[in-house]
Amino acid sequence: MNRPEPLPEVLADASKARAEWLAAATRIARPVLENVAQQRLREVMPCETPAPSRAGFAPLEAFARTLAGIAPWLECERPEPWTGWARAGLAAISDPASPDYVGDLPPPQPLVDIAYLALALLRAPDALWHGLDGVVRDRIVALLEGVRTIQPLANNWLLFSAAIEACLQHFGRPSRQERVLAALGAHASVPRRWHLW
């Protein structure tokens, strides 16, 4: 069955919506990616939190969650300088000599945000993972494996743990499948209280 050609006004609306989304992404994501690429995110990022102990995690949260959100766009379009910033950011957060290094953050919060990093890599393997040199890949794997010592809470954190293992497996690294199976089993056994259909 042939689809009808889109109407010009529909295309115009889609083009306008895309421009608005790109403008929003630029306003939100650019400061994070550009600064982490220059290894100065921790230095310049404002942090407004009532819990001072959370301030140390804010740069990782900002970078990992931003990257997870824009990863499909990076994978589909490889926009520059965005892709370059993202790769440089991955290098910065995984380098122990970088001021933006995240491998020394205290548990348990890094489990969550390293999982967002894993999701970004899974969503944009060509734009992100395959564009990294071997040294940076090994350092990223060390970050992923490093949070294995954190016991996930018995809630959605099980899925964060599973996402990390799925990422390791996807990129040919040893994974702990029992963590994936535990997460899936725990969530499959939850009674369905709400039906959306």
- The encoded tokens of residue 94 equal 């995984």
Average pLDDT of span 158-172 = 96
Between CA 119 and CA 184 the distance in angstroms is 17
What secondary structure does DSSP assign to 34-66, as a single string? HHHHTT-HHHH-----S-GGGGGGHHHHHHHHH
Judge whether 182 and 133 are in contact, CB under 8 Å: no
Q: Which pTM value belongs to this model?
A: 0.86
In the chain, pLDDT over 70 holds for what percent of residues?
A: 87
DSSP conformational letter for 128: T
- Tokens describing residue 193: 């209280």
Contact between 89 and 63 under an 8 Å Cβ cutoff? The reply is yes
Read off the tokens for 58. Answer: 């804010």
Q: Give 10-64 pLDDT, tens digit per residue.
A: 566 778 888 898 899 899 999 999 999 999 999 999 887 666 667 788 999 999 9
pLDDT of res. 194: 46
